Structure 1
Amino acid sequence: MTTTGVRTPARAGVRGGIDGVLERMRALEAAWPARDGVAVFNRVYLSVTEEVNRRVAAGCFTDRAAAAELDVRFAGRYLAAVDLARSGGRPPACWRPLFQLRGHPAVKPLQFALAGINAHIGHDLAVALVDTCRSRGLEPSAMEGDFHRIGRMLVAMEERIREELMPGPDVLDVADPLTHLVGSWTLEAARNAAWASFRALWAVRTLPELSEELTDRLDASVGMVGRCLLTPLG
């Protein structure tokens, strides 16, 4: 259990800081088939983490150390879910649809990418923010500026991801099921919800039972969205 009172995957930490995160993601990329649904998300997340690493090194964040710790704690939750799935365990509800449907032939690569981003932003980010603030003795306001800096970078990358993974012509028919499905979810909305969830979790951080219940509800609701994003379209 974390300091928030939330049940945590067994391995939510990563040794070696951001470099350790990148090493693990690159190893996963080499191990999985390119069409595997988790591999699709992993490639997206690897590119995001490489960019965050460059910006941390360049001093683009107000609190470089806190931004780096957040990145590692954040990534650790995804990598812990990977380890649980590999060992036959049960990943958190937010990740379960992606791991269960990772090989479905009628789910498109863009769906896999967005489902992974939904799980990670919708649930893991709020919990990682709480853990980082508690670890460093910070109030949420101290993280807000850097949170929005990272968010703006992610929103820009989301547009590129959609362009790269959307199949067919540049502009699909508005009646196309994939166009309808992926148009119903945006990273901007998920990021705003994550900040609100973080503030709620922070407000109840001294109430372990309530904190755990709130996080479990968040986990389940994000998992439901992920299941919808992975609706087979073939």
Structure 2
Amino acid sequence: MKQANTINEVIQFLDEIIEKSKIDQSNLGLFAILYREVTVKVKEGIQNGSFQNGERMEKLDVIFANRYLKAYYQYQAKEKPSECWGFAFEQAEKFWPIVLQHLLLGINAHINLDLGIASAEISTVEDIEDLKADFDKINSILSSLVAGVEKCLIKIWPTLALILKCTGKIDTLCIDFSMEEARKGAWKFANEFVAIPENEREACTRIRDKRITEIARLVSNPGYFVSAVFKFIRLFERGTVAQKIIDMQIMEAKNMECVAA
């Protein structure tokens, strides 16, 4: 099972997942693209001195990413990953979820479960507060990508632009899933988790995992009206899964050019 030792290896493994997803026509590549962009921007932030502690941030990034990589490779090997990741991966094999739902399922598992655990693993009860500013920056990077994702989705299904214009932000279109609330919940969990004795952490993780899986079920089935809208969107999504992945990669490259400029 592949595990990264550096942030460059994280990016390398994400590239491999994306390319494999193109070949397999697998929706698993959609979140991997979004996550790759987050990782690249974190790497740039470390190089530019944007974080309070660059060395600590790379350590956090690698531990954080390895939780996703472990879950991904467990699923590929037909082993059982954490419940919320298992649910997200299973949905990737189904027809009805739209691109947005695939992305939110990945964000839900990674932020609401993995980020709190990773943050606690590099901290102690005494110094975890020192991580808060950099913790918030990671979440801000992810939140800032929503606009780029929206553009990708509009390219895949142009009529989505009309729905977004009428309903507002893309995240409020699907469910009451707020990145701000996810960030607050993840930080609260990190502070709780860091104080738990090692021999109790596995049980705590299982309890948290079940709670986050319930959120995942809401993402997958957000109610009759929104589900009906999503089904309509899904029927008119353009292109194969591989083409959707390529569309997102093109948008990622454009986003990176904007950042460089």
Correspondence 1:145 to 2:136: no
Aligned to 2:72: 82
Correspondence 1:57 to 2:44: no
Distance 1:94 1:179, change over 3 A: closer
Deviation, structure 1 residue 179? 7.7
Superposed, which structure 2 residues align to 1:1-234 within 5 Å? 13-15=3-5, 17-33=6-22, 36-133=26-123, 139-165=127-153, 167=157, 168-172=159-163, 182-204=174-196, 206=197, 208-209=199-200, 211-231=201-221, 233-234=230-231
- Of Structure 1 and Structure 2, the greater helix share is in 2
Give the alignment's Cα RMSD to 1 decimal: 2.4
TM-score, normalised to structure 1, is: 0.84
Of residues 76-85 and 101-110 in structure 1, the stretch that sits farther from structure 2 once superposed is 101-110
The number of aligned residues is 217
**What residue identity is the alignment partner of 2:46?**
V
The Cα offsets for residues 124-165 of structure 1, whole Å up to 9 and x where unpaired, read as: 00110011125xx97111111111122222221123323432
1:38 touches 1:102 (CA, 8 Å); kept in 2? yes
1:121 touches 1:191 (CA, 8 Å); kept in 2? yes
1:172 touches 1:179 (CA, 8 Å); kept in 2? no
Of residues 153-162 and 124-133 in structure 1, the stretch that sits farther from structure 2 once superposed is 153-162
The Cα offsets for residues 41-88 of structure 1, whole Å up to 9 and x where unpaired, read as: 111111111111111111111100000100000000000001101111
**What residue identity is the alignment partner of 2:205?**
T
| Larger relative contact order, structure 1 or 2 (CA cutoff 8 Å, min sep 6) | 1
Deviation, structure 1 residue 171? 3.5
**What residue identity is the alignment partner of 2:82?**
P
**What residue identity is the alignment partner of 1:170?**
A
**What residue identity is the alignment partner of 1:71?**
D
Distance 1:150 1:128, change over 3 A: same
Deviation, structure 1 residue 180? 6.4
Describe the SS at the equivalent of 1:36: coil
TM-score, normalised to structure 2, is: 0.76
Which residues of structure 1 form unaligned runs of 5+? Answer: 1-10
The Cα offsets for residues 191-233 of structure 1, whole Å up to 9 and x where unpaired, read as: 11000000111122x2622x33222111111112112212374
Which residues of structure 2 form unaligned runs of 5+? Answer: 222-226, 232-261
- Work out the CA distance in 1 between the residues paired with 2:209 and 2:140: 24
**Aligned-residue identity in percent:** 24
